[in-house]
Structure 1
Amino acid sequence: MSLTVQGFMLIDVDVAALNNAGKDTSTTLENAVATKKVNKGGRTYAYVSGQAWRYWWRETLKKDFGWNMSPVTREKKIAFTEANPVVYDDDDMFGYMRAAKEGKKNITLTRVSPLKNSALISVSPTNIVQNWSSMSRQEGDAVPYGKDEYCATMKGMFSIALDQVGTFSSEDRTGFKNFNDALAKLAIENGADLIDDPFAKDKKGDPLKLHRLEKPVRVRRVLDTLLALEILSGGAMQTTNMGDVTPKLMVLTMLNSGNHPFSHLAKDDLGKPVFSVPALKQVIADYAGRIPGKVCIGRRMGFMDELEEDLKTFADADHVFYGSICDAVREFVKEIETSIP
């Protein structure tokens, strides 16, 4: 059975500017930076791109978990990693594309990331203000500049396809050729097994083969990825607009499908972001037959404290766990260790 980790989280920041969008052309200031924002229903929402969130995630895994990160090569207008998921942890979890040719033969390697994530977007419309700042340490006049700032509770979703972690295809088809002969040989030398591909067959109708790394490697990569959320850090303008981007509320579970059911757990209520326990209960009831283990809910005390009694009442020993963010993540990873194939 193919299992997918499904996660939902809220972060909460004050006077932040987490992801900027370059020069602000709507102001008379010569030096002004705009934050990323999007309009929906005529209202403005601040957001952090999915790419920026992934960058924070990578950097946390590199600095705090000692991940062996794939070096990046830049050629003219393109850049690519080593595309070696046997050696480099991030090439496995975050995917890659390395376009190349030998003569007229296409030898491009690609890997769809087992880790997928949304953008982080404010739950409620955001009042983004441009504040005036200045560089004034030098002699003479100060040099003014402007920057967008906001307070927001932001939501995001992510998933991890457990059967894809550490598992690689050599099928000569766009999007599926993760490995070449050299990588296949290296994988076997490092203890990888050959397993049947459940979705692809050769011309004779026999299953194609996948290379799968040893289980301890795959388990470590998944657990590190989840545990990194406890200490996630990042965001633009951290020197003067430092924001805590660790989750303040999180929901984690596994589904035996890739569908993500948690997109509408948070909503706007007349300008106030709220988390809907009834919506969570409905999702869990609707997908009960597809959730093989626990639903783990974590909340940081001081954030949405009005949820405490409802979440405590909802929790039960067998199916729903409720505790702090770190407790919820660590309870969930216990289930992961026994669920990775």
Structure 2
Amino acid sequence: MANLKTQGFILLDVDVVALNNAGKNERSNFDNAVATKQIFKNGRKYVYVSGQAWRYWWRESLQKNMNWVMSPISRESKIAYTDANPIEYPDDDVFGYMRAATEKVTDDKGKTKSTNMTVTRISPLKNSAIISVTSVNPAENWSSMSRQEGDAVPYSKQEYCAIMKGMFSLDLNMVGAFSNYNKTGYVNLSEQLKKEALGKGCKETEDPYVKNSDGKPAKLIQLPKEIREKRILETISALKYISGGAMQTNNMGDVTPKFIILATTKTGNHPFSGVVKTSGDKDEQFELNIAGIREIIKDYQETFVGKIFIGTRSGFFEDYQSELKSLKDEFDMIEISPVNEAIDKYCEQLKKQVE
């Protein structure tokens, strides 16, 4: 079994937004002032959306557009956790979980006792933060609440325009496959849930990559292929409909990809981090790194499985269409199309790659 991963790279194009806020703006002259998330690199400021926020948007889109039934959340004192049931709930499967649980076990003498059973699952879906490609100086916009009697109540927020980039990786072999190794992140199922899973059509298979202390292959509990495939395809397809971000009532922004690269690889390393680059004295301009894409394909050609799909939205990167076409002519494995079509075509390829 090949260890396959979906590797994705996206670009967003947003205007006058505040997608992910960071609380009170201590540098503002206003008492009611909200700052946007920003970070510094080489002395320059970049705005960003946290990886957690992007995952929240992704979950919401899967629930609303793919009709996923989400795992219920429980709260105890200062902790919260999902049901930790990846057999029943696809978000527990794809996004991972950790839950400290108590399980009743019957011993050889027929006595029932409670035992601690902590289950954890490393997420098959991993993603970066979404960060502006170029340096950005957010503008502070003054507003006021003035519909009430008396003085207006002023407040401010930071807004920006930016091209933003993000990366993600989805482990295709891990979706719908659950381990019980004595290692943090790999005790996915309680013994009770394991028994229930085997009674609901799941099967026990050998893990081709892990061996027990006796040298024999470790076991995995695996969902039927049609369920695993459905979860994988819907996770990728949700990118066509993804929405979210703070301040949407006044600063609504479109966070669907305007540029996307999708490929399946045999390695875990993400190859597409250098697809765009900055230029100018203050890194205020950006460009598509065609030479970088060409280099990636040549250097990692043996690790790609199937075609590499590049999608561009009309009106975005139009100056690079001829260069992208030349890239396609140079490499048979590249296919260029509109964004949604690229996602659909990649999903069709995935149907042949999910084992």
Tell me the TM-score normalised to structure 2 length.
0.93
Question: What is the aligned partner in structure 2 of residue 290 from structure 1?
Answer: 303
Cα distance, 1:137 vs. partner? Answer: 1.4
Residue 181 of structure 2 is aligned with which of 162, 171, 187? Answer: 171
Q: Indicate yes or no: 2:206 matched with 1:206.
A: no
- 1:173-200 deviation line (CA, Å, top 9, x unaligned): 2221001112112211221111102233
Q: Which has the larger radius of gyration?
A: 2
Code of the aligned partner of 1:240: N
Question: What is the aligned partner in structure 2 of residue 253 from structure 1?
Answer: 263
User: Quick one: percent identity of the two aligned structures?
Assistant: 50
SS of 2:351's equivalent in the other structure is helix
Code of the aligned partner of 1:144: P
Code of the aligned partner of 2:350: I
Cα distance, 1:27 vs. partner? Answer: 1.2
Code of the aligned partner of 1:186: E
Distance 1:315 1:189 in 2: 48
Q: Indicate yes or no: 2:343 matched with 1:329.
A: yes
Question: What is the aligned partner in structure 2 of residue 94 from structure 1?
Answer: 95
Worse-matched range after superposition: 67-76 or 179-188: 179-188
Q: Indicate yes or no: 2:41 matched with 1:31.
A: no
Cα distance, 1:130 vs. partner? Answer: 0.9
SS of 1:55's equivalent in the other structure is helix
Question: What is the aligned partner in structure 1 of residue 163 from structure 2?
Answer: 153
Question: What is the aligned partner in structure 2 of residue 223 from structure 1?
Answer: 233
SS of 2:321's equivalent in the other structure is helix
Question: What is the aligned partner in structure 1 of residue 13 from structure 2?
Answer: 12
Code of the aligned partner of 1:92: D
Worse-matched range after superposition: 66-75 or 180-189: 180-189
Cα distance, 1:104 vs. partner? Answer: 9.4
Residue 305 of structure 1 is aligned with which of 309, 318, 325? Answer: 318
Worse-matched range after superposition: 11-20 or 127-136: 127-136
Instruction: Classify 1:6/1:141 alpha carbon distance in 2 versus 1 (closer, same or farther; 3 Å).
Output: same
Code of the aligned partner of 1:322: I
Code of the aligned partner of 2:301: A
Q: Indicate yes or no: 2:141 matched with 1:131.
A: yes
- 1:63-121 deviation line (CA, Å, top 9, x unaligned): 11100100111111111000000000100000000023569954110000000000000
Distance 2:31 2:275 in 1: 41
- 1:281-304 deviation line (CA, Å, top 9, x unaligned): 110111101112100000001112
Residue 182 of structure 1 is aligned with which of 181, 188, 192? Answer: 192
Distance 2:197 2:352 in 1: 23
Distance 2:241 2:305 in 1: 28
SS of 1:315's equivalent in the other structure is helix
SS of 1:208's equivalent in the other structure is strand
Distance 1:199 1:180 in 2: 22
Question: What is the aligned partner in structure 2 of residue 62 from structure 1?
Answer: 63
CA contact (8 A) 1:86 1:186 kept: no
- 1:311-339 deviation line (CA, Å, top 9, x unaligned): 12222594111010011111111111110
Distance 1:243 1:100 in 2: 40
Distance 1:76 1:24 in 2: 30
Distance 1:268 1:190 in 2: 52
- Unmatched 5+ stretches in structure 1: none
SS of 1:2's equivalent in the other structure is coil
Distance 2:149 2:169 in 1: 52
Code of the aligned partner of 1:48: V
Distance 2:240 2:302 in 1: 29
Question: What is the aligned partner in structure 1 of residue 252 from structure 2?
Answer: 242
Worse-matched range after superposition: 55-64 or 194-203: 194-203
Worse-matched range after superposition: 97-106 or 311-320: 97-106
Distance 2:148 2:242 in 1: 36
Cα distance, 1:273 vs. partner? Answer: 2.0
CA contact (8 A) 1:123 1:154 kept: yes
RMSD: 1.4
SS of 2:306's equivalent in the other structure is coil
How many pairs align?
341
Question: What is the aligned partner in structure 2 of residue 76 from structure 1?
Answer: 77
Code of the aligned partner of 1:311: L
Tell me the TM-score normalised to structure 1 length.
0.97
Code of the aligned partner of 1:51: Q
Distance 2:69 2:117 in 1: 25
Distance 2:286 2:220 in 1: 45
SS of 1:27's equivalent in the other structure is coil
Code of the aligned partner of 1:178: N
